Amino acid sequence: MSVPVAPSPHRVLKTRPLSLAGPPALLLVTGAAAGVAAVAAPAAARGWLVASLAIAWTVLACVVAGAGLLLRRHRRASVTAGGEIQSLHAQLARSGAESAHLVNVTLPTVVKRLRDGASAEETLAATPPPSDPQLQRVLRMFADEVALGARRAATAVADHETAVTRLGQIADDLDLLSTVTLPTALGGLREGRGADTVLADLKRPSDPRLRVLADAVVRDFAVSERRGSAAQAASAKALSRVQAKAVSMLADLREMQERHREEVFGDLLKLDHNTSQLGLMTDRLALLMGGRASRAWNKPIPMESILRGAVGRIAAYQRVRLHCSSTASVAGFAAEGVMHLLAELMDNAANFSPPIDEVHVYVEERSAGIVVTIEDSGLKMADAAMRRAEESVSGRSNDLATLQGTRLGLAVVGRLAEKYHLSVNFRPSSRGGTGVVVLFPPQLLAQRRTAAPQLSGRHAAPVPADTLPEPQPQPRTPPPVPLPSPAGPSPALPSPAAPGDGPRVATPGGLPVRPPGRTMAAADRDRAPADGTGEQDRTRHGSAPRAVPPGRDAGTRFGAFHRARRPVEGTPEKDRPEHGDTH
């Protein structure tokens, strides 16, 4: 590796001083040499040689005299230049010292004083100036520039601190707006409060622009909420009319099932089932719109009736198999909601499983309540679909804008589960599909009471009219799930008794009591023959009073249904009801 060599210092040539005795000695030597040459020269040439030597010596003397004169002048100039050089060296040394003092002492002091807040004039007045005018000018320019930079830096620091403080206030206002103001305002508007009332009690940001923004958002959301509430209320009212019409149609169909012969019973059951599906759809929309179900019960409903009622509301009821041995009953206030929830889950299981597979429903009694498990044999749900289903049935997502138009059932399940505190969970099914586990809490189950023995005949005590329970509509029992039947004919079930076969139940005041399972239309027809005016009207028109068919309970209707499934003697094959029509 090469090593750098320090440069050698420049050699300074020193001139030797010239001696003043040199020129005269030169003249003497040249004169002596000329005399010797003249003496030694021949006589013939001595004259012109002496003349030449004399001229040459004279010229040399003049040259030597001139050189001596120039030498004296040069010496004097040299002495003068040496003095000037020494003066310049001294001045340069002083300038270097002043520059070093300016750089090392004066300028740092000036910078410190200017940064401490002193002005340029005060700083220059307190600082000893250098003797060099150029350095004085440099010092002043430096002080002015540093003072200007210090002022700008102070202004920038102040602006930065102001901006940071302002930014912190804006951040706090934004946090207040996003975490307190808007959530509180939107929650109040969703609860039905007006925009002015919400804004009066609202904690708003201090920034005027954010306050204007918050007011605009609250008022716009209030308008949207009013429009949405009005639309939901109008939809709920319209759906309530459809629900009432569906319930009325069901009542008419049941009344027709009691009046008409068995030949049309299968068709009536098919219409009844289609109307039940229509009722399920209208109840679904009504519940999503904030309405309520079409029916309500004031007495407990057995768990088996709840399951059969749920099965009867779906299209694929023939594929549902019930496994229920529980004797528990659901409280009347929750019976309709529970029935609708189970119907939605059964319908979902039937729709997402092969049409040839069955959906099995199991009921178990546990210490935590009643557990209903619905299992299908369809495709196993993916993890993402399982999470979406869990989110839907949790009841936390009630925004109608997020719902799909064709998949509303799970959203209804979520609302009903949240309302009645039901637990709905999805899990893989042992049958290869998906299972849904519904837990009924104990507060939804009716307490079991042992019925007291009733006295009949003349030993029966009269019951006051004001203590009799008001008749309520009974839950419609769906058609039974078809099971494989043996090849032989089924034994005929007993026919319902005639109206006059048993005692007529009435209140002490003489008012008839409608048996459970009968419609109001059937009760009116039973009361019509007892009215004299109606009997006279029928006699006046020449028509004999028609025997009114008795009111049928659930068992009687199922017996008629099974009898209607068997071929009637003399009925053509093409006129017999098909298997699908009977359900």
**Residue in 201, 248, 191 with CA at minimum distance from that of residue 221:** 191
Q: Do residues 324 and 307 lie in contact, with contact meaning Cβ atoms separated by under 8 Å?
A: yes
Looking at residue 234, what is its pLDDT? 66
Pairing label, strands 320-323, 359-366: parallel
Tell me: do 319 and 212 sit in the same domain. no
**106 and 191 share one domain:** no
pLDDT reading at 141 higher than 50 = yes
SS3 471: coil
CATH number of the domain to which 358 belongs:
3.30.565.10
Averaged pLDDT, 548-565: 43
201 phi/psi in degrees, rounded to 5: -100, 10
Dig out the tokens for 186 from the structure: 């939107």
Q: Please give the mean pLDDT across all residues of the chain.
A: 72
Given a contact cutoff of 8 angstroms between Cβ atoms, the answer to whether 260 and 268 are in contact is yes
**Which stretches of 352-440 are DSSP H helices?**
383-393, 409-420
566 confidence band (pLDDT: 50, 70, 90): very low
For residue 363, what is the DSSP state?
A: E
Give the tokens for residue 249.
Answer: 């149609």
The rounded distance, in Å, linking the Cα atoms of 522 and 518 is: 6
Number of other residues whose CB lies within 10 A of the CB of residue 54: 13
Angle at 267 between CA 264 and CA 272, to 5 degrees: 120
Q: Which of 116, 134, 157 is the last residue of a domain?
A: 116
User: How sure is the predictor about 374, in pLDDT bands with cuts at 50, 70 and 90?
Assistant: very high
Name the pLDDT band for 438 (thresholds 50, 70, 90). Answer: very high
Average pLDDT over residues 473-486: 40
435 shares its domain with 352: yes
Q: What is the DSSP string of 502-542?
A: SPPPB-TTS-B-PPTT--HHHHHHHHTTTSHHHHHHHHHTT
Say what angle helices 520-527 and 208-259 make with each other, to 10 degrees: 40
Clarify whether residues 195 and 334 are in a common domain.
no
Domain boundary among 82, 116, 150: 116
Q: What are phi and psi of 248, to 5 degrees?
A: -65, -40
- Of 163 and 385, the structure prediction assigns the larger pLDDT to 163
Per-residue pLDDT tens over the stretch 95-139: 888 888 888 888 888 888 887 878 888 888 888 888 888 888 888
- For residue 391, with 0-12 CB atoms within 10 Å meaning exposed, 13-18 middle and 19 or more buried, which class applies? middle
Q: Which domain holds residue 389?
A: 296-447
Q: E-strand spans in 346-400?
A: 359-366, 369-375
Measured in degrees and rounded to the nearest 5, phi and psi for residue 427 equal -155, 160
Please report whether residue 202 resides in a domain. yes
Instruction: Indicate whether 266 belongs to any domain.
Output: no
**Is residue 325 one of the residues assigned to a domain?**
yes
Judgement on whether residues 201 and 302 belong to the same structural domain of the protein: no
Residue 524 has pLDDT above 60, yes or no: no
Q: Quick one: 209 and 314 in the same domain?
A: no
Please report, rounded to a whole number, the percentage of residues in the chain having pLDDT higher than 70.
Answer: 67
- 363 pLDDT tier (thresholds 50, 70, 90): very high
Q: Hey, what long-range contacts does 558-562 have (CB within 8 A, 24 or more apart)?
A: 558/477, 558/479, 558/480, 559/493, 559/494, 559/495, 560/257, 560/262, 560/265, 561/265, 561/266, 561/269, 561/479, 561/480, 562/490, 562/493
Quick one: CA torsion of 47, 51, 57, 60, rounded to 10 degrees? -150
300 and 228 fall within a common domain: no
Give domain status of residue 242, yes or no. Answer: no
pLDDT-derived band at 459, boundaries 50, 70, 90: very low
Whether residue 557 contacts residue 272, with contact meaning beta carbons closer than 8 Å, is answered with: no
- Cα of first residue to Cα of last residue in the chain, in angstroms, is 107
If asked whether residues 348 and 205 sit together in one domain, one would say no
Q: Which of 331-335, 387-391, 504-508, 509-513 has the highest mean pLDDT?
A: 331-335
Q: According to the model, what pLDDT value does residue 18 have?
A: 54
* 501 in a structural domain: no
pLDDT one-digit tens code per residue, 224-274: 877 777 766 766 666 677 777 677 777 777 777 777 767 677 777 777 777
Distances (CA, A) of 310 to 400, 475, 478: 25, 10, 8
Distance from the Cα of residue 395 to its chain's centroid: 16
Last residue of a domain, one of 95, 116, 137: 116
* CA–CA separation, 324 and 363 (whole Å): 5
Q: What's this model's pTM, rounded to 2 decimal places?
A: 0.45
pLDDT exceeds cutoff 70 at 508: no
Domain count, the chain: 3
Residue 511 lies in a domain: no
578 in a structural domain: no
Which residues contact residue 108 at a Cβ distance below 8 angstroms, ignoring those fewer than 6 apart?
none
> Is residue 576 in some structural domain?
no
**What is residue 421's three-state secondary structure?**
coil
- Residues 388, 302 share a domain: yes
Q: Are residues 192 and 312 in the same domain?
A: no
Q: In this structure, how many other beta carbons lie within 10 angstroms of the beta carbon of residue 348?
A: 22
Instruction: Tell me the average pLDDT across 521-548.
Output: 40
Distance of CA 115 to the CA centre of its chain: 52
Do 317 and 408 belong together in one domain? yes
Best mean pLDDT range from 62-66, 119-123, 298-302, 491-495? 298-302
**Residue 226, helix vs strand vs coil:** helix
Inform me whether the pLDDT recorded for 493 exceeds 50: no
Judge if 228 and 356 occupy the same domain. Answer: no
pLDDT category at 478 given cuts 50, 70, 90 is very low
How is 7-62 classified by DSSP, letter by letter?
Answer: PPPPPPPPPPPPPTTHHHHHHHHHHHHHHHHHHHS-HHHHHHHHHHHHHHHHHHHH
Those residues with Cβ within 8 angstroms of residue 17's Cβ, 6 or more apart along the chain or in another chain:
75
Q: What angle, rounded to 10 degrees, do the helices at 43-101 and 133-176 form?
A: 30
